[in-house]
Amino acid sequence: MPLNACELEIDLFCRGMRVPDEVPLDGARGISRTRAGLGSGLEVVIPGGSWVKERIWVNVPVEESFAHESPYVLEGSPLDGYRVRDDRNSVRYPIEIPPEPAWYAKSTTRGIPMNRIGVLQGTYLGVYINMVCTFWNYSPSLNCRFCTTGNNVGEHEVVDKAVADVVEVARAARDESGVTFVHLNAGFQGSRGVQFAEPYIAALKEQVGVLVGAQLAPQKDFSHYDRLIALGVDHLSFCLEFVDPEWFAKICPGKERVLGQQIFFDSIEHCAKRMPKGAVSGEIIAGVEPIEATLKGIDWIADHGAFPTVCIFRPTIGSAMENWPSPAFDQMRPVMEHVYQACRRNWIPIGAAPNIEVSIVVNPDDTAMLVPRTPGFYVYEAYRRTARALAQPLFSRRMRPRPRRDSGANGENPPAQGGRTAGGSATNV
Ligand code: SF4
């Protein structure tokens, strides 16, 4: 029995895919080692084949050792199209391999290669704005054990990203790739604080006109989040990673020792109360801690008006967990089904924002393909479509460049410490 598009997405995350040498990948997006390493695969698009979801973006693991044992094999070419063949039953799934955008080969006016500033992960632009996550600077290192950021920044990315360069790359991504969303990620920013993201957010809102998300380590003084919201940030996400306290401490020693797990819950709660439903997300990793803890985390996040983004654990090359097994499909499918049910129960308008498809996680709205077609399903799907239609004018407004305010964003590097006066409206999507 062939899998549906979301099931195939899950299984590809779990098993990876083999890419034979003779299959040409001319023009495909290169494999990018950035951030925590989750973008280490081949970007592909699976046609949804359903009114529920038209296209599903997946960053398929191809380099890790488990991918070399995968029953999935890529076949085809740019000329006659690509397919993923499942060697267990010879089922072939048509897929697309999105081309690398022309701006990847360009440089900013300051001479920095644009793809060392930001990369596409699905349809959005991801920019790692921190120099390097501060957990990597401790001795012994306190980095999260699944992460490879400390190996990637500097090697594959520019260490210190000027606001002017980020603006220029965001403009290119918007104009040439139709990007609507820029996601700023920082790992643990140490003494720089949440406020070091302010000049980036202000400049992107004022000079580019895109939706902007920020993923920063939480900070005790929550007024900093209010300042980001006032600057116009559209989305805030918090990497809780693991729900079971013991697993949290074991896999994320820096988060445990320096921040503590509770602050992640408190930050999500604080921001979700101040932003529209679905504008905040909590990220967790499935496939390491007991599944019951993951399900509990999904429920907690959705019950607080945020949406759960669930990464399927990937034992990335170079991480301390490189030799851990990747999760099993039979365990991950119920987790993703649970994401949908939790969002439905809490009327989270998943999938409402325009053109935001994240390739490194199973998008919450992909999971609509996993659940039984009950009357409740159709009611929620009707609600989601209505919410999406009603939100379009609002998103269009928020994607217009905002008049320049006294944000302090002047195209120069952000300050190493200390904030700047945040101006602007506190309205949000
Ligand atoms: S907080 Fe953890 S996952 Fe994030 S960049 Fe730092 S070490 Fe990596």
Mean pLDDT of the chain: 90
152: confidence class by pLDDT, cuts 50, 70, 90: low
Which segments within 140-246 are labelled E, that is strand?
181-185, 211-215, 235-241
Q: How far is the CA of 284 from the centre of ligand 1 (A)?
A: 13
For tokens 């009357």, name the residue: 375
Among the listed ranges 57-71, 141-155, 168-182, 336-350, which one has the minimum average pLDDT value?
141-155
259: confidence class by pLDDT, cuts 50, 70, 90: very high
Is residue 84 within 8 A of residue 12, CB to CB? The reply is yes
- What is the number of other CB atoms lying within 10 angstroms of the CB of residue 425? 11
The closest alpha carbon to 306, from 346, 337, 363, belongs to: 346
pLDDT of 414 strictly over 50: no
What are the Cα distances from residue 167, in Å, to 96, 171, 210, 419? Answer: 29, 6, 10, 20
415: confidence class by pLDDT, cuts 50, 70, 90: very low
pLDDT, tens digit (0-9, with 9 covering 90-100), for 309-328 = 999 999 999 999 999 999 99
Q: What is the DSSP letter of 164?
A: H
User: At residue 158, what is the residue type?
Assistant: V
Is residue 67 within 8 A of residue 61, CB to CB? The reply is yes
Can you give the pLDDT at residue 187?
A: 87
Can you give the pLDDT at residue 149?
A: 83
Q: What is the mean pLDDT of residues 407-425?
A: 35
User: Is 135's C-beta closer than 6 angstroms to any atom of ligand 1?
Assistant: yes
The per-residue b/e assignment along 355-373, b for 16 or more CB within 10 angstroms, e otherwise, is ebbbbbbbbbbbbbbbbee
Q: Is 71 exposed, middle or buried (0-12, 13-18, 19+ CB in 10 A)?
A: middle
Distance between CA atoms of 82 and 75, rounded to whole angstroms?
6
pLDDT of 405 strictly over 70: no
Distance between CA atoms of 365 and 281, rounded to whole angstroms?
14
Using CA positions, which residue lies closest to atom 2 of ligand 1?
144
HSE (side-chain half, CA atoms, 13 Å) at 12 = 35
Q: How far is the CA of 207 from the centre of ligand 1 (A)?
A: 29
Is residue 131 within 8 A of residue 187, CB to CB? The reply is no
> Which residues, 6 or more positions from 84, have their beta carbon under 8 angstroms from its beta carbon?
8, 12, 17, 44, 72, 73, 74, 75, 92, 93, 95
Q: What is the mean pLDDT of residues 65-88?
A: 96
pLDDT of 75 strictly over 80: yes
Report the share of the chain in percent with pLDDT over 90. Answer: 79
**Model pTM?**
0.90
Can you give the pLDDT at residue 150?
A: 77
pLDDT, tens digit (0-9, with 9 covering 90-100), for 4-21 = 999 999 999 999 999 999
User: Is 133's C-beta closer than 6 angstroms to any atom of ligand 1?
Assistant: yes
Which segments within 112-234 are labelled E, that is strand?
119-121, 124-128, 181-185, 211-215
Q: What is the mean pLDDT of residues 333-356?
A: 96
163: confidence class by pLDDT, cuts 50, 70, 90: very high
3-class state of residue 65 by DSSP: helix
The closest alpha carbon to 258, from 414, 131, 144, 415, belongs to: 144
Number of the ligand 1 atom closest to the C-alpha atom of 133: 6
User: Is 188's C-beta closer than 6 angstroms to any atom of ligand 1?
Assistant: yes
For tokens 């410490």, name the residue: 417
Q: How far is the CA of 216 from the centre of ligand 1 (A)?
A: 10
Strands 124-128 and 91-95: unpaired
Q: What is the mean pLDDT of residues 381-389?
A: 96
425: confidence class by pLDDT, cuts 50, 70, 90: very low
Can you give the pLDDT at residue 423?
A: 29
Q: How far is the CA of 185 from the centre of ligand 1 (A)?
A: 10
Can you give the pLDDT at residue 158?
A: 67
User: At residue 386, what is the residue type?
Assistant: T
pLDDT of 72 strictly over 60: yes
pLDDT of 292 strictly over 90: yes
Decide which of 80 and 30 is more confident: 80
Can you give the pLDDT at residue 159?
A: 66
Q: What is the mean pLDDT of residues 260-278?
A: 96
Strands 119-121 and 91-95: unpaired
Can you give the pLDDT at residue 155?
A: 58
Can you give the pLDDT at residue 104?
A: 94
Is residue 306 within 8 A of residue 272, CB to CB? The reply is yes
Distance between CA atoms of 161 and 77, rounded to whole angstroms?
36
Can you give the pLDDT at residue 310?
A: 97
Q: How far is the CA of 119 from the centre of ligand 1 (A)?
A: 18
Number of the ligand 1 atom closest to the C-alpha atom of 130: 5
pLDDT of 307 strictly over 90: yes
420: confidence class by pLDDT, cuts 50, 70, 90: very low
Distance between CA atoms of 331 and 334, rounded to whole angstroms?
6
Q: Tell which one of 132, 147, 189 to mutate to probe ligand 1, the residue whose CB is within 8 A of the most ligand atoms.
A: 147
What are the Cα distances from residue 278, in Å, to 147, 308, 381, 387, 428? Answer: 26, 9, 15, 11, 11
Can you give the pLDDT at residue 298?
A: 98
Q: What is the mean pLDDT of residues 110-114?
A: 94
pLDDT, tens digit (0-9, with 9 covering 90-100), for 169-207 = 999 999 999 999 999 998 898 888 889 999 999 999 999
Can you give the pLDDT at residue 403?
A: 75
Q: What is the mean pLDDT of residues 390-417?
A: 68
Using CA positions, which residue lies closest to atom 1 of ligand 1?
187
Q: How far is the CA of 118 from the centre of ligand 1 (A)?
A: 17
